[in-house]
């Protein structure tokens, strides 16, 4: 049975209390003789993963006893294949992607939310082409909307459309989806940041974003391989403590990290200086209500056929 995070924290408190009586309360530091736990973390070109890079480059992971290598991926398929094969131990994902893995029998566990939209900062948006007269969700009725089906993009699109029925067009390659939108080949498309902001810069029209929605829908999450947690349960506590410290540093001086964000999230150079940076979020449990909503949506589409519960997936 996997050890729950609360148990790990309790054990850590007991150990620290014992160590305190011996005057040994220091956090592990690089070069202090403590063995560091090696951890490979997968990251997509997404603003949500900026804390990974900050924690790695500024030695925060090492201060928390981890030797972390951030492994960049250009596609979710490559990242998930690496997780399944054990070539990475953890990384960014989204609830739809995690449930696809769980339904296929792979033990991927969500250890925390990562980032989601706020009223002042979108993560996903449906955009209309530059020459389109579409300006509102109702205008999309019967119109083409380019998406990547059976993915988080599909989930976001359905939530943003509500009861409006559209003609979904499949285009999994994001740069092509965006370019065909800008070339007026598609009437509308769903894009994630930062390409949503870039498409707006290039003349596309905002129809609706998750920031305009009345419910939080655009979660990304931090995922660990179940086998890695079982072998190294303390790694989750260490990782999330380092993640939180990196979040604090970014939020305290966001412009100090703009150049790194532009590089790792592949923000187009035309908007690099003006792109709105997110306010990053401390680690926290991924909420049950969103999990159940995503699971219900996936069951309705036949994407989940196995019995999956929140308590099994959330660590």
* The 3-state secondary structure of 66-113, one letter per residue: EEEEEEECCCHHHHHHHHHHCCCCEEEECHHHHHHHHHCCCCEEEEEE
Between the alpha carbon of residue 203 and those of residues 129, 135, 206, 230, the distances in Å are 8, 13, 10, 50
Q: Whose CA is closest to 36, among 295, 250, 234? A: 234
pLDDT band at 186 (very low <50, low <70, confident <90, very high): very high
Burial class of residue 125 (count of CB atoms within 10 Å of its CB; 0-12, 13-18, 19+): buried
Q: Which helix (H) or strand (E) holds 6?
A: helix 5-20
Between the alpha carbon of residue 298 and those of residues 3, 216, 285, the distances in Å are 28, 17, 21
CB 56 within 8 A of CB 30: no
Between the alpha carbon of residue 92 and those of residues 50, 130, 260, the distances in Å are 11, 32, 17
140-166 pLDDT, tens per residue? Answer: 999 999 999 999 999 999 999 999 999
190-249 pLDDT, tens per residue? Answer: 999 999 999 999 999 999 999 999 999 999 999 999 999 999 999 999 999 999 999 999
Q: How many CB atoms lie within 10 A of CB 20?
A: 10
Model confidence at 100: pLDDT above 80: yes
The confidence score (pLDDT) of residue 279 equals: 97
The confidence score (pLDDT) of residue 307 equals: 97
What's the rounded mean pLDDT across residues 130-138? Answer: 98
Q: How many CB atoms lie within 10 A of CB 22?
A: 7
Model confidence at 34: pLDDT above 90: no
What's the rounded mean pLDDT across residues 290-304? Answer: 98
The token duo for 14 is: 């007991």
256-284 pLDDT, tens per residue? Answer: 999 999 999 999 999 999 999 999 999 99
How far is residue 172's CA from residue 262's CA, in Å, rounded to a whole number? Answer: 23
The confidence score (pLDDT) of residue 10 equals: 36
CB 159 within 8 A of CB 238: no
Burial class of residue 226 (count of CB atoms within 10 Å of its CB; 0-12, 13-18, 19+): middle
The confidence score (pLDDT) of residue 240 equals: 98
User: CATH assignment of 124-212, given 3.90.105.10, 3.40.190.10, 3.30.1330.10, 3.20.20.150?
Assistant: 3.40.190.10
Say if 5-116+219-313 and 124-212 have the same CATH topology. Answer: yes
The confidence score (pLDDT) of residue 15 equals: 35
Question: CATH second-level architecture of 5-116+219-313?
Answer: 3-Layer(aba) Sandwich (3.40)
What's the rounded mean pLDDT across residues 22-28? Answer: 36
How far is residue 9's CA from residue 27's CA, in Å, rounded to a whole number? Answer: 15
The token duo for 304 is: 């989940």
Name the residue ranges covered by the structural domains of the chain. 5-116+219-313, 124-212
Please state the pTM of the whole predicted model: 0.88
pLDDT band at 302 (very low <50, low <70, confident <90, very high): very high
The confidence score (pLDDT) of residue 309 equals: 98
The confidence score (pLDDT) of residue 1 equals: 44
What's the rounded mean pLDDT across residues 46-71? Answer: 98
Model confidence at 97: pLDDT above 70: yes
The confidence score (pLDDT) of residue 24 equals: 35
208-221 pLDDT, tens per residue? Answer: 999 999 999 999 99
């Amino acid at each position: 049975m996997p050890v729950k995070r609360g148990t790990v924290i309790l054990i850590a408190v007991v150990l620290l209390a014992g160590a305190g009586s011996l005057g040994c309360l220091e956090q592990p530091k690089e070069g202090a003789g403590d063995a560091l736990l090696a951890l490979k973390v997968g990251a997509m070109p997404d603003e949500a993963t900026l804390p990974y890079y900050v924690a790695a480059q500024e030695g925060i992971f090492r201060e928390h006893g981890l030797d972390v290598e951030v492994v960049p991926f250009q596609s979710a398929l490559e990242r998930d294949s690496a997780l399944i094969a054990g070539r990475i131990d953890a990384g960014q994902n989204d609830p739809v992607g995690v449930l696809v893995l769980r339904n296929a029998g792979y033990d991927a566990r969500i250890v925390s939310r990562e980032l989601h939209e706020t009223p002042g900062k979108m993560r996903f948006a449906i955009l209309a082409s530059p020459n389109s007269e579409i300006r509102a969700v109702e205008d999309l009725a019967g119109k083409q909307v380019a998406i990547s089906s059976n993915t988080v993009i599909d989930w976001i699109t359905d939530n943003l459309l509500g009861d409006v029925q559209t003609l979904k067009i499949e285009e999994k390659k994001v740069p092509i989806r965006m370019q065909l939108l800008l070339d007026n080949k598609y009437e509308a498309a769903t894009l994630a940041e930062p390409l949503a902001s870039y498409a707006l810069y290039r003349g596309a029209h905002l129809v609706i974003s998750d920031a305009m929605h009345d419910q939080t829908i655009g979660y990304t999450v931090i995922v660990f391989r179940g086998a890695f947690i079982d072998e190294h349960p303390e790694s989750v506590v260490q990782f999330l403590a380092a993640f939180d410290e990196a979040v604090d540093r970014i939020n305290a001086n966001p412009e100090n990290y703009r150049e790194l964000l532009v590089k790792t999230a592949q923000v187009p150079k035309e908007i690099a200086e003006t792109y709105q940076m997110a306010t990053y979020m401390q680690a926290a449990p991924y909420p049950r209500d969103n999990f159940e909503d995503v699971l219900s949506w996936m069951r309705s589409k036949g994407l989940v056929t196995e019995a999956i519960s929140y308590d099994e997936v959330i660590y």
